[in-house]
Amino acid sequence: MFKTFRGRLTFSFLAVILTVMVLISIFLLNLLEQYYLAYQKEILVNSGNLAAELFSGYLRGGSDLVLLSGLAENFSRQIGARVIVVSKSGMVIGDSVRVGGRLGTPLEREEVLKALEGGTGCSVQYSSFSEQWVMQVAVPLKEAESISGVVFLSYPLKGIYRILTEARYYLLIMTLVAVVVVGVLGAILARYFTRPIEELTLAAQEMAKGNLQQKIKVDSRDEIGRMAQQFNIMAERLNKMTKHLRSFAENVSHELRTPLTSVSLLVKSLREYSMPAEQQHEFLKDIDKETDRLVQLVEDLLDLTRLDKDETYIRKEKVDLKRLLVEVGSKMRPRAERQGHELKVEIEPGLSQVWSSAERLKQVIYNLLDNAIKYTPEPGKIELCAYSQDGEVVIKVVDTGRGIPSADLPHIFERFYRVNKGRSRDLGGTGLGLSICKEIVEALGGKIWVESVEKVGSIFYFTIPETLS
């Protein structure tokens, strides 16, 4: 029962109701007993006073023990208590119990002593004479303001204790009924409360087995409802991530397989067939190109993993943008010019320093310029510009190349996405360049986007926050 949360919840309900019922019972029984005893004492004291008045007349002419005992017996019958009359000297001079009574013996009781001093004595005790609990009351017998004796009453409390026993019995039955009702209700409630937790556990178990498509019905907004909601979000994310990872691994293997197969075929041909030196040279050139592509691919993949988890990969510092742009421009110019392009670098005067990562900025600009050169087939114009706008530095790379079809534009920053796979591969591309650029720019706190018209050209923009902090 205690092993499950449901069992513990049901047991808690039972423990609470049991404690409450026991406390109420103790309190009620005590109250009832006090009330009855106070009520009985009042009746007995009144009866005692009445008897005292009656007896005082008979005591005046000396004490006739037989007469007093007869009167006591009569009175006792009417009030249901034993009546004893005690003289001033403490001797019993009248007793309603004739046979075996205390007539002629002293009655040295605390209550009697108190009554002889003018007060009212009262006690509740077990009487070995009548073998039951009794209430004993002693009141003074007064004659012309002086005390001439005591009336002692002993009332059996059997009736009261019978009522208390009955009350105890009813309370016990009520407690048992309450325990059964609360037990059943508690079990139902506990089941109702814990059902979502069980569902969550089952779903988590399924996920642990690799079955990631789990969704729990959320029908409450309480803590458990919110937990179920978070679980659903987590399951969905995990599912997406796994799918993403799977397709990424598929893409990587595919990208690796193509150059590796080419290299393997070329090497086999070189080994197995004799061919003129010129052709051999061509084959070796192809092998060199494919290996370069492989190295580039592995480097790009490494960049992606570093961007994911290596915090030192992006180390921010004060960057002099002007110097950086001029440096990258000069490094790329010979390559651009070799293909007949003109490469211009235009920087807005007074461009401030930025708090960024010089190495990563260079990487982004190299990638964009590399694309601009690669995807501009005819001799064209390539521009690298930087200007400040709305608290940001905007850097743009403009080309007059083949442009990007509008259908491809939304996907251009996705990993391995290429407008024309064959062409990109021939040009040594991996399809990872722009996705790396996007991740770097976003990690540096900026945005990257593109405007392009097919056969006219493209403009790639990215921003860097201008603040030096």
Q: Which residues bind to ligand ADP, rule: CB under 6 A? A: 367, 371-372, 375, 399, 401-404, 412, 417-420, 424, 429-434, 458
For Mg ion, the closer of residues 194 and 371 by Cβ is 371
Among residues 367, 464, 356, the alpha carbon closest in space to that of 413 is found at 367
> Closest separation between CB of residue 264 and ligand ADP, Å?
23
For ligand ADP, the closer of residues 44 and 404 by Cβ is 404
CA distance 214 to 350: 56
DSSP 22-84: HHHHHHHHHHHHHHHHHHHHHHHHHHHHHHHHHHHHHHTT---HHHHHHHHHHHHHHHTSEEE
For ligand ADP, the closer of residues 83 and 398 by Cβ is 398
> Closest separation between CB of residue 460 and Mg ion, Å?
11
For ligand ADP, the closer of residues 136 and 430 by Cβ is 430
Range in contact with Mg ion (rule: CB under 5 A) among 112-120, 162-170, 284-292, 433-441: 433-441
Element holding 225 (H helix, E strand): helix 223-272
CA distance 144 to 129: 35
Residue 402 interacting entry, from Mg ion, ligand ADP, none, C-beta within 5 to 8 Å by type? ligand ADP
Question: What are the angstrom distances between the C-alpha of 126 and each of 56, 135, 348?
Answer: 30, 9, 112
Residue 419 interacting entry, from ligand ADP, Mg ion, none, C-beta within 5 to 8 Å by type? ligand ADP
Under a CB-based contact definition with an 8 Å cutoff, are residues 71 and 94 in contact?
Answer: yes
The DSSP secondary-structure symbol of 91 reads B
The DSSP secondary-structure symbol of 232 reads H
376 contributes a contact to Mg ion by CB under 5 A: no
Residue in this structure with the two tokens 């070329």, named with its chain if needed = 266
Range in contact with Mg ion (rule: CB under 5 A) among 10-18, 85-93, 187-195, 365-373: 365-373
Under a CB-based contact definition with an 8 Å cutoff, are residues 89 and 104 in contact?
Answer: no
For ligand ADP, the closer of residues 186 and 401 by Cβ is 401
Under a CB-based contact definition with an 8 Å cutoff, are residues 58 and 68 in contact?
Answer: yes
For ligand ADP, the closer of residues 341 and 418 by Cβ is 418
Q: Tell which one of 149, 433, 446, 457 touches Mg ion (CB under 5 A).
A: 433
401 contributes a contact to Mg ion by CB under 5 A: no
For ligand ADP, the closer of residues 40 and 458 by Cβ is 458
371 contributes a contact to Mg ion by CB under 5 A: yes
For ligand ADP, the closer of residues 149 and 433 by Cβ is 433
> Closest separation between CB of residue 427 and Mg ion, Å?
9
Residue nearest to Mg ion as judged by C-beta position: 433
Residue 109 interacting entry, from ligand ADP, Mg ion, none, C-beta within 5 to 8 Å by type? none
Under a CB-based contact definition with an 8 Å cutoff, are residues 126 and 161 in contact?
Answer: no
> Closest separation between CB of residue 330 and ligand ADP, Å?
20
Range in contact with Mg ion (rule: CB under 5 A) among 152-160, 211-219, 340-348, 369-377: 369-377
Residue in this structure with the two tokens 């403490």, named with its chain if needed = 90
431 contributes a contact to Mg ion by CB under 5 A: no
Burial 266-286 (b: 16+ CB within 10 A, else e): beeeeeeeeeeeeeeeebeee
Residue 424 interacting entry, from Mg ion, ligand ADP, none, C-beta within 5 to 8 Å by type? ligand ADP
What is the CA 374 to chain-centroid distance, rounded? 55
Residues that bind Mg ion (CB under 5 A): 371, 433
